[in-house]
Structures are given as structure tokens and as C-alpha cells.
Amino acid sequence: MKTIDELLSEGVAGKRVFVRADLNVPLDGTTITDDGRIRAVLPTVKALAEAGARVIVASHLGRPKGAPDPAFSLAPAAARLGELLGADVAFAEDTVGTAAESVVTGLADGQVAVLENLRFNAGETSKDDAERAAFADKLAGLADVYVGDGFGAVHRKHASVFDLPKKLPHYAGHLIATEVGVLKKLTDDVQRPYVVALGGAKVSDKLAVIDQLLGKADRLLIGGGMAYTFLKAKGYEVGISLLQEDQIPAVKEYIERAEKNGVELVLPVDVLVSTEFPDLKTKAPAHPTTVAADAIPADQEGLDIGPETRKLYASKLADAATVFWNGPMGVFEHPDYAEGTKAVAQALVDASGFSVVGGGDSAAAVRTLGFDEKAFGHISTGGGASLEYLEGKTLPGLAALED
């Protein structure tokens, strides 16, 4: 895989460089609530602009249905990118139409433009190879060189991720090079003890990665909504907690295999419960109660790991040489259910080993809860991409850059 360093050494002054970024930031109306993904692509965009390239940044945002939708416009992301760069950033109100052509043509050396949401075009996400390729051809007409730096999208076989790099000289940006280097530390050259903390809502989202980790990790900590399927598999009452009954047979098999393989599988010993899901808009007090993990009332829902579990998980992370964490321990968006996620984040900060926060809600939680990002070894920008890499899958966007 060629990197941006090789491209810069070859010289990019005057060249139109298409940067596939991941600007898929959370929005409250038109207000960006977490700009982490924009900041993550800054090193690549800055390096190209300072070298005199005419930089064309493209990304998706949300899941529009192949047509323009103002709710998913990249205009706020373009404005924020300009603020972070300290320079004017042009914005094209389409992706491959007259606005894009005009904006790109008007770029001078060292200037940056952002195209409108790639997913406003049906060809971006089409499962039809010909339709995707046709859209990629139009994108290729805007540029001379391709730089892939949208790690959060490399697990998607989309036109701008998979097809476009085949049509232009292609290189990996600083972010993708960093992400791949970190993931290799979790797969090829693991320092032990290797501890993995998994949370989030659905166990089905993590089955494949758990399957792989049962042969690689030394210790596996389970939290979040997915924990209740594990507790149910052990025969516990879980009340009205989030539960995937169809996954119980698989979870039982994983519990047995963990014991057989000598992998320490650690489940919550106590949880915070309530009869109602909290109001995440008003953040009104929820008044949860703490119960043992095997004593959840039939009419209540588990919403965070309890204080004894927080201590337990912190102790299980303390001696780790390598830690990977993906998924919050509870409904961290509400202050009454944020302590479990906060405890795991703090344990990663306190641990002397190499810590990786695996993107998605975990990365958002770290920032929302006020942690210094520099206190972690690495915060990934791609939760789904990170998990699929750890599952051993071939990621289309990385495969295209390696060709």
C-alpha cells in the first residue's frame, strides 16, 4: 500500500487530489456535536494543501436514499474544516454536477474544496457494479490522484471507496496508515496480557469478532446491552433488558469455548436498573437502583454496569499490555448511566499498556465524558471497520488501496 508520504515526495503541486475522507459527524440540526472525524483527516488535508495540491475532499454523511436531502448536507462539515484549517474552504452543492466542476476548476494551488454528500448519488452505494463504476468514472474526472483517508468507510464496497481508487493513482492518507498500523498491533504483534472490553447494544453486532477473539485475547469483558444476552444464557432473569433470544445458543457456545480455551470471560456482577428508559433530551433524573446481576426484577431494565462491576473491570484492565475497547457499558448519554462507561475509559487511561478505543460510540463517549484523547494510545475513527478487521475480513477500501 503506497502512502501519502510517497505521494508528497513525488510532488503534488498543481495536481487535483481527491481525498476520500470520513466527515460523517453527528449533527443536531446544523450543529456538529462531535468533530472528531473532521480533526482526524486534518493532517492529510494540511499536508497536501501545504505542498500545493488542489485538494478535493469528499465524504458521506448519514444514510440519505440516493438523492439530495438537506438534513444530510455536508455544508456544516465543510465550514468546520475551514475553521480548523484556518483557511477558506469552497463548498460544492453537488458531487459530480456543474457546481462540483465549477468549484474544482476554480481551485488554485494549495486550496481546498468539499463536495456535497456522496450518498446523494445512488451510484455511490449501489450493489450494481456497473452503476457504481459509472459514478466512480464521474468522480475520477474531477481529479488526477486519489488519497483514501476515510477509515470509517473502508469496510463498504462503495464507489468512492472501492471503485474510484482503481481509476486513479492511489495512496493511503495519514489516518488510514495509522489505523492499519494500530490494528496490526491487535492482530499480528500482540503484547500480552491482551484484554478486550466489548459493549454496545446488540450481541449480534459483535458475534464474529468474539469468535475471533476467543482464540486471541487473554481476557474478555462484556458490558452494555449485549451483556444481558450473556446473563440470560447463564440462566439469569434479565427483566425487560435488551435481549436477543435468538443469539442465546451462540452465546452459550462462546461461554463454553472461552472456558475451554483458557480465555477469562468476565460478565457484570451488578447492574443499574429502572422501569423506564431515561429521557436523553432533558436528562431528567432517572433514579436507578443497583441490583446483583442474577437478581434483576422481572419488570425492570438493566441500563449500566453497577459499582462492583466497575471495580472488577478496572482491576481486569489494570495489568493489560494491550487493550481494545469497543462499545459503551451503558446508556452513557444520560448522566445517571454514564459511570460504567466512564470507569472503563478511566481504566484505559490508568493502564500502562497500549490502549485502543475502537471508534463509534466508544470514541464519542470518550469525548462526551471529557477525557483527554491524548491519554489513550489510539482512538479509532471507524468502529465497524475496526471490528471487521479484527474479524479477519477483507476490507474493500483497503484492498483497493493495496492493488
8 Å CB contact between 341 and 370: no
Q: Determine whether the annotation assigns residue 118 to a binding site.
A: no
37 part of the active site: yes
Q: Determine whether the annotation assigns residue 206 to a binding site.
A: yes
Strands of the 112-114 sheet, one edge to the other = 89-91, 112-114, 54-58, 16-20, 145-148, 170-172
What is the enclosing helix (H) or strand (E) of 112? strand 112-114
Q: Determine whether the annotation assigns residue 34 to a binding site.
A: no
Q: Determine whether the annotation assigns residue 294 to a binding site.
A: no
141 part of the active site: no
39 part of the active site: no
Q: Determine whether the annotation assigns residue 170 to a binding site.
A: no
Q: Determine whether the annotation assigns residue 119 to a binding site.
A: yes
Q: Determine whether the annotation assigns residue 16 to a binding site.
A: no
User: What's the CA gap between 371 and 386, in Å, rounded?
Assistant: 21
> Among the options 2, 138, 185, 202, which is catalytic?
202
Q: Determine whether the annotation assigns residue 121 to a binding site.
A: no
What is the enclosing helix (H) or strand (E) of 147? strand 145-148
Amino acid type, 202: K
Q: Determine whether the annotation assigns residue 24 to a binding site.
A: yes
Strand partners, 24: none
Nearest CA to 367 out of 337, 318, 332, 340 is that of 332
Q: Determine whether the annotation assigns residue 62 to a binding site.
A: yes
How much is the CA Rg of the chain, to the nearest whole Å? 22
Place of cell 446483583: 292
> Among the options 223, 327, 382, 384, which is catalytic?
384
Q: Determine whether the annotation assigns residue 319 to a binding site.
A: no
Q: Determine whether the annotation assigns residue 359 to a binding site.
A: yes
Q: Determine whether the annotation assigns residue 207 to a binding site.
A: no
> Among the options 223, 360, 383, 397, which is catalytic?
360
Classify residue 366 as exposed, middle or buried by CB count within 10 Å of its CB (0-12, 13-18, 19+). buried
- φ/ψ of 345, rounded to 5, equals -60, -45
185 part of the active site: no
> Among the options 15, 20, 37, 316, which is catalytic?
37
The catalytic residue positions are 37, 202, 360, 384
Annotated binding site for substrate: 22-24, 37, 60-63, 119, 156
Annotated binding site for ATP: 206, 302, 333, 359-362
Annotated binding site: 22-24, 37, 60-63, 119, 156, 206, 302, 333, 359-362
